[in-house]
Amino acid sequence: MKDLTRPYDRVVLLIGDVIILYASLWLTLLLRYQDIPSTKLFMDHVGPFSLIFLSWFVVFYLVGLYEKQTTIFKSKLPKTVLAAQIINIVIAALFFFFDPYFGISPKTNLLIYLAVSVVLVSTWRLYGTKFFLNRKSRTPALLVCDGAECQELADEINGNDWYPIRFSRTLSLRGEGIEDAWRTIQSAVDEDGIRTVVIDTASPAIQPFITRLYGLSFVGVRFFDFNKFYEEVFDRIPLSSLGSQWLLEYISPKPKLLHDAVKRTLDFVGAIVLGVLLLILLPILWPFVRNVEGEALISQERVGLGFVPIRVYKIATMRRNEAASDAWVKEDEERENRVTLIGQLLRKTSIDEFPQIWNIFKGELSFIGPRSDIAGLAERMADKIPFYSVRYLVTPGITGWAQVNQQYSPGNISPQSVEDTRLRLMYDLYYIKNRSLLLDLIIITKTFRVLLTRLFV
């Protein structure tokens, strides 16, 4: 469904942010000098601030303020805006420190601007966007499917004004007779005027009256496959759609020669550049990261391409060297925190992953791809989750589509349960199916956003 979201909504958000940032500058000068700013005073500040605003919008993008999900997580929005503006104020301070050409003294102004802009941007995003982005007339639609993923889709669509439709009716086929289900669909079309139907065409319960459904096309009803619709909304593959036919069509290891060649070249060059940085950084960190066994580097047996074991190294972040598979958290269980203080910082910044550059250099890992598991953990998850091993049809990576999209439980930066891992698989399958250089670029930009979020949000 190509018109599922409106691209110009992001333009509205951007224009609103521009207006708010300049309005915040005007209010800052008003508060700072206790008088209406003169045209000259305002223009003296507009020039330099306009330059730094360009970098600020990049920060806004990196922290996710231009994605459709920002209309969902309202409770996190003020904190996200505050974190973005703190970063932006630091950028501005460095700009004015190294470039005294403009001849203004912004130290006090920047502090006032931080408070004013956070309040105004948060207010604009929480309340102003409702007026400008509100869809006064969302098209009613019918959702025909079963299961948790079906309910998840209904909740997302109906709870987010970003989408042009709303599900005024949801039909579950469990326990419904063929004729009862057909009468419900007809009623939705004839009485409610519904012309958009999202339906799980792969469900066996649909097959007996599939030809009747096609007949509704003659009265203007548009049908959308539930699985494709779910994928477009959530950017992940619903596990309910998996089967031999789907796997053969989308996940067969078809060679993508251009993508694979360019990606491998970038991995090789990047590994050399970051390898030099690691040689400089590791001796500095060595005295501070050694665990009780005296090790600054730990080795782990992980799973690589084709489920082949590989040996990787990480900077020690825990007091003892215990394999993650031994510390795996079961449902409703807690584990003792064994991460050191400096280890927490290294994990948040992913610096502890730097030694894996050697694996990237050898071609065992990539910068981008499904995250590699500890060997024992991968085997257990393959037993618990159908099709789990499919994620190893491509070279594993240090960052990936799941890492930049999945929301983990507070304080964790990786899956902590079977359910978390099942959700991660949904994102990994999306990447395997849609992998491209453009998607890799998106993952890189979102990785910076995740790192900023870990540090400041």
Reading the block at residue 270, the tokens are 């990047």
Give the model's confidence band at 70: pLDDT under 50 very low, under 70 low, under 90 confident, else very high.
very low
pLDDT 10s digits, 190-244:
888 898 999 988 888 787 777 888 888 888 888 898 998 999 889 999 998 887 7
Q: Which amino acid appears at position 293 of this protein? A: E
Q: Quick one: DSSP state of residue 249?
A: I
Average pLDDT, the chain: 82
The mean pLDDT of 308-328, rounded to a whole number, is 73
Give the model's confidence band at 150: pLDDT under 50 very low, under 70 low, under 90 confident, else very high.
very high
**What percentage of the chain reaches a pLDDT higher than 70?**
84
400, 408, 407: which is closest to 444 by C-alpha? 400
Strands (E), 340-415: 366-368, 397-399
Reading the block at residue 41, the tokens are 């005073």
What is the reported pLDDT for 98? 67
Q: SS3 helix, strand, coil % of the chain, rounded to 5?
A: 60, 10, 30
Give the model's confidence band at 411: pLDDT under 50 very low, under 70 low, under 90 confident, else very high.
low
pLDDT 10s digits, 28-39:
999 988 889 898
What is the reported pLDDT for 426? 95
> Is the confidence at residue 436, as pLDDT, over 80?
yes
Which range, of 97-101, 275-279, 302-306, 317-321, averages the lowest pLDDT?
97-101
Return d(Cα 109, Cα 386) in angstroms, integer.
57
DSSP 193-218: ---EEEE-TT-TTTGGGHHHHHHGGG
In b/e form, how buried is each residue of 416-450, taking b as 16+ CB within 10 angstroms? bbbebbbbbbbbbbbbbeebeeeebeebeebbbbb
The mean pLDDT of 247-274, rounded to a whole number, is 85
- Highest CATH level, class, for 139-234: alpha beta
Segment holding 186, helix H or strand E: helix 178-190
Which range, of 51-65, 149-163, 318-332, averages the lowest pLDDT?
318-332
**Angle in degrees, CA 455, 358, 279, rounded to 5:** 70
Give the model's confidence band at 327: pLDDT under 50 very low, under 70 low, under 90 confident, else very high.
very low
- For the chain, the domains span 8-133, 139-234, 257-456
370, 360, 358: which is closest to 401 by C-alpha? 370
What is the reported pLDDT for 431? 94
Model pTM above 0.75? yes
pLDDT 10s digits, 38-57:
988 888 888 888 888 888 88
What is the reported pLDDT for 269? 95
pLDDT 10s digits, 151-194:
999 998 888 777 888 898 888 877 667 778 888 888 888 888 89
Which range, of 86-100, 157-171, 179-193, 421-435, averages the lowest pLDDT?
86-100
**What percentage of the chain reaches a pLDDT higher than 90?**
26
What is the reported pLDDT for 30? 92
